[in-house]
């Protein structure tokens, strides 16, 4: 069903369980196929809640989330999730080899494909430098990767799946500058051709987005391109200057 990856939020309100105060209020926007919508907002503004409605980690309380015109609740859940790549702050790596972690969404992937994805994700070098390379165990009894390394494994995993929709959290946990620019290059490669929802902590990463939503207490406080917001939004200019 999912072909182009147009995402529409249509007056979406969301509450956690029976909570009185909604976390998201009447959110409407469209992410056109292949475009990037960045979501900017302070901690607790509702950014993670918003993106979690796309792969149906939660469902909207009111309103509709649609992909290619279809309510996400009417899309087969396995199909929905197989077309969405998730690269979040706390990337979910499991106990197992690096190879198994990279091919998680594509168990049939060949060793060549896995290495190709790892190279594009700027992860091949550090993996190759480990004593057991791609067979190195991660998790409880295995090696511990740094935040930036975990993120690149998650990027390699997403590259292998070639999802239609990408949900990204661009916050890189304390990494050096060289690593940060490598992660940026890997993310750019991953975003090519995908409709991307980008949770952005930094203004520098939203400037290139096709559309920016400024979220405040679950509401869209401002929306537009960087140039438009610089012209018309006091809120955005304040964030820009801070
Ligand atoms: N919240 C909640 N139950 C959860 C998750 C979040 O009640 N299981 C609440 C939080 O306390 C917060 C609001 O939902 O008041 C929005 O949270 P979130 O969507 O995580 O906000 P973000 O903007 O993503 O915050 P951060 O940048 O810190 O991740």
Prediction ipTM score: 0.94
Q: Is 190 helix (H, G, I), strand (E, B) or coil?
A: helix
Task: Report the separation in Å between the CA atom of 90 and the middle of ligand 1, taken as the mean of its atom positions.
Answer: 14
**What's the gap in Å between 48 CA and the centre of ligand 1?**
7
Q: Assign 48 a pLDDT band (cuts: 50, 70, 90).
A: very high
State the Cα–Cα distance between residues 138 and 154, nearest whole angstrom.
13
5 pocket-lining for ligand 1 (C-beta < 6 Å): no
Report the predicted TM-score, pTM, of the whole model to 2 decimal places.
0.89
Instruction: Round the average pLDDT of the chain to a whole number and report it.
Output: 91
pLDDT in tens, 150-178: 888 999 999 998 899 999 987 665 567 78
Contact 220, 46 (CB under 8 A): no
Whole-Å CA distances, 144 to 84, 161, 242: 27, 24, 35
Q: What's the rounded Cα separation, in Å, for the pair 2 and 26?
A: 24
Cα 24 to averaged position of ligand 1 atoms, centre (Å): 10
Confidence of residue 19 (pLDDT cuts 50, 70, 90): confident
């Amino acid at each position: 069903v999912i072909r182009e990856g147009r995402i529409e939020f249509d007056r979406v309100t969301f509450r956690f369980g029976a909570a009185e105060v909604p976390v998201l209020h009447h959110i409407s926007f469209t992410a056109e196929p292949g475009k990037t919508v960045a979501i900017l907002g302070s901690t607790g503004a509702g950014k993670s809640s918003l993106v979690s409605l796309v792969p149906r980690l939660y469902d909207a309380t009111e309103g509709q989330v649609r992909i290619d015109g279809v309510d996400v609740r009417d899309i087969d859940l396995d199909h929905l999730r197989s077309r969405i790549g998730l690269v979040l702050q706390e990337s979910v790596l499991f106990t197992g080899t690096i190879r198994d972690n990279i091919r998680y969404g594509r168990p049939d992937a060949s060793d060549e494909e896995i290495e190709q994805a790892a190279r594009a994700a700027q992860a091949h070098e550090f993996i190759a430098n480990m004593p057991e390379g791609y067979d190195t165990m991660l998790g409880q009894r295995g090696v511990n990767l740094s935040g930036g390394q975990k993120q690149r494994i998650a990027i390699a995993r997403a590259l292998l799946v070639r999802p239609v929709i990408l949900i990204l959290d661009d916050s890189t946990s304390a990494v050096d500058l060289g690593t940060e620019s490598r992660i940026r290059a890997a993310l750019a490669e991953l975003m090519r051709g995908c409709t991307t929802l980008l949770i952005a902590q930094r203004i520098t990463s939203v400037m290139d987005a096709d559309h920016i939503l400024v979220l405040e207490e679950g509401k869209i406080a401002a929306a537009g391109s960087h140039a438009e917001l610089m012209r018309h939004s006091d809120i955005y200019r304040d964030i820009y200057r801070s």
